[in-house]
Structure 1
Amino acid sequence: MTPVGEMVLGLPEARLRPFVDRYLGYRERADVPLVRRESAGVFVVLILGWGAPLDVTDPRSVERGVTTVDSFVAGTFDGWCTTRTVGVGEGVELLLAPLSARRLLGLPLGELTNRAVGVEQLPGHWLGRLRDRLAEAPGWPQRFALLDRVLTARLVASPPVDPRLAWAWRWLVASGGRGSVGTLADELGWSRRHLAFRFRQDVGLPPKMAARLLRFQQAHAVSTEIGASGRAVDWAAVAAACGYYDQSHLIRDFHQFAGATPAALLAAR
């Protein structure tokens, strides 16, 4: 059965946009269990919900998931996972770049690598209080305005990340994950070992894995855009454009990060 509901997009205020690209408010009813496969990504997912609980499961390890929660944070994952829910769910979803999440959450993302954690388990319990205030707000405009106020205050109160690390992240993103990690380390004047340590600590994944995920995310986005236009996807061309050696290399990453071939994933979308 197809779930029934609404989705509302909100744009954060200007000061927040370098850190949070959008808010997604949702209300969804699933009369039978709804299971979704969620692709890996070098981003952090924050769900603040007040409806039906859900489960997040990593097929590689039960300990990495969380059950019967309405609000959670999922750190950077290097494999796909699933979510399962039934009933009426309502809440707000945010996708955060790793270093933005590092500042907002106030903890190294290495502590959340390949993990989903209920917000009540995080330090300070401020996300749980924010969730309660969002639930009490009369509508989406008021909820988005509340997010603006609270998240801006968190950023103002948090120390900035190391500017060298911020530069390294921007460099890797600008290259689409195709830049050499050795070149990046040389540009920073860091050893490869130190660069890998800093990325594991503050991004949650080593730079080579982050680069792979950036390439995958670009290939996923490009193929989805082509498919949505009604055109046939030339997978070899997508692979070449996104920095893969060949089409089989792209397929292997889709299997690891999305749990399906590119064509199967596009058909499901």
Structure 2
Amino acid sequence: MLTEAVVGRPDARLRPWVDRYLGYREDAPAPLVRREVAGAFVVLILGWGDPLDVHDPRATGRGTSGNAFLAGPFDGWCATRTAGTGVGVQVVLTAPAARRVLGLPLGELANRVVPVDRVAGWLTDLRDALAGTAGWTERFARLDAALAARLAATDPVDGRLRAAWRRLDVSGGAVGVAALADEIGWSRRHLAVRFRQEFGLPPRTVARLLRFERAYAGLGRTVLTAPAAGAGGAGWAERAARWGYYDQSHLIREFQAFAGATPAVLARPGSHPSYPG
């Protein structure tokens, strides 16, 4: 179970890129298994405790075991397993922010979990520095300095790609790829190729994930009433429409693909964990 969780706010200069840091300590006397939902973001774990196993059920060889790694973007759910004591910092980055901070195209990370020592030496050095620092305030200050240095050393992402991402994000994935391509002056094919190369997933998939992210967050605020959960399912049909899905079946298919369970199952007490970050 999570025995310590400390949220840190990055320096103001970093907030366009990083929303917050999460320092954690988790003690699991017995193996603890979780299902992690898909997302169009990158999760950076810089830990120094017992390892966490990450498994992608869709394919062998796409997981890892360790305490410091980069994950995602992922277009399917994963399972994690840990035992013992894990300590570290979690940073969740949007794809454009991760592309800038890491300085590498996210096509190299899509649907992968990679130990940080295989990505960049500065990440390994940062993890070691955090492990050797006492206190969360001091650790968060080290994160500020390291991320600011990366932003100063890396080139901006193409402005047209950033604009395309913003349009998808603001609309919750409601903008079509053809309209998006017209807005930035590219062909659909060129947009899809460049977007996937730089941000890890094609724009259509990102649109689906952004819509799912909002629905998943809304699910956490949903209070089921007896009529909504009844045999008629009118409550779920109404929610599907409100969250931008064609119908209830569409909602269920997307949740099964991205969360590994139906929204009705995830809405049960104790079944809906907080969204990453």
TM-score tier, shorter chain, comes to: over 0.9
Quick one: structure 1 residues 227 and 145, their matched pair in 2 at CA, closer, same or farther if it must change by over 3 Å? farther
Answering whether residue 71 of structure 2 is matched by residue 74 of structure 1, we say yes
Equivalent residue, structure 2, for 1:51: 49
Matched, 1:126 2:127: no
The alignment-based identity, stated in percent, is 61
- Secondary structure, in 3 states, of the residue corresponding to 2:60? strand
Letter matched to residue 198 of structure 2 = D
Q: Does 1:13 align with 2:11?
A: yes
Q: Which residue of 1 aligns with 2:205?
A: 209
Aligned residue for 2:112?
A: 115
Within the candidate set 113, 137, 142, 2:138 is matched to 142
Q: What's the secondary structure of 1:61's corresponding residue? A: coil
Give the partner amino acid of 2:48: W
Task: Please report how far the alpha carbon of residue 266 of structure 1 lies from its aligned counterpart in structure 2 after TM superposition.
Answer: 2.3
**1:28 maps onto 2:29 in alignment:** no
Q: Is the 1:226–1:232 contact (alpha carbons within 8 Å) kept by the matching residues of 2?
A: no
Which segment is superposed worse, 232-241 or 100-109? 232-241
Q: Which amino acid aligns with 1:261?
A: T
The whole-number CA distance in structure 1 between the counterparts of 2:247 and 2:28 is: 40
Distance apart, 1:4 and its partner CA: 4.7
Change (3 A) 1:137 1:213: same
Letter in structure 2 aligned against 1:168: A
Asked if 2 retains the 8 angstrom alpha-carbon contact of 1:196 and 1:207, the reply is yes
Following TM superposition, where does structure 1 have runs of at least 4 consecutive aligned residues deviating by more than 6 angstroms?
Answer: none
Matches within 5 A, 1:174-213: 174-213=170-209
Q: Secondary structure at the match of 2:90?
A: strand
Q: CA RMSD in A?
A: 1.6
Q: Which residue of 1 aligns with 2:165?
A: 169
TM-score for both structures, normalised by structure 2: 0.92
CA distance in 2, matches of 1:221, 1:199: 25
Distance in 2 between the 1:55 and 1:88 partners?
Answer: 13
Deviates more, 1:38-47 or 1:56-65: 56-65
Q: Which moved more, 1:231-240 or 1:163-172?
A: 231-240
Question: Contact 1:46/1:94 (CA < 8 Å) preserved in 2?
Answer: yes
Q: TM-score, normalised by structure 1?
A: 0.95
1:153 maps to amino acid? A
CA distance in 2, matches of 1:4, 1:219: 25
Q: Distance in 2 between matches of 1:35 and 1:222?
A: 24
Cα distance in 2 for partners of 1:240, 1:15 equals 38
For structure 2, list consecutive stretches of 5 or more residues without a partner in the other structure: 230-234, 273-277
Alpha carbons 1:223, 1:238 under 8 Å: kept: no
| CA distance 1:245–1:25, change in 2 (3 Å) | same
Query: 1:227 Cα deviation (Å)?
Result: 3.7
Task: Provide the secondary structure at the position in 1 that maps to 2:54.
Answer: strand
Alignment coverage as a number of residue pairs: 264
Deviation of 1:232 after TM superposition, in Å, equals 6.4
For the 8 Å contact 2:40–2:210, the answer to whether it is kept is yes
How far apart in 2 are the matches of 1:22 and 1:56? Answer: 23
Tell me how far apart the structure 1 counterparts of residues 204 and 193 of structure 2 sit (CA, whole Å). Answer: 12
For 2:232, the equivalent position in structure 1 comes to none
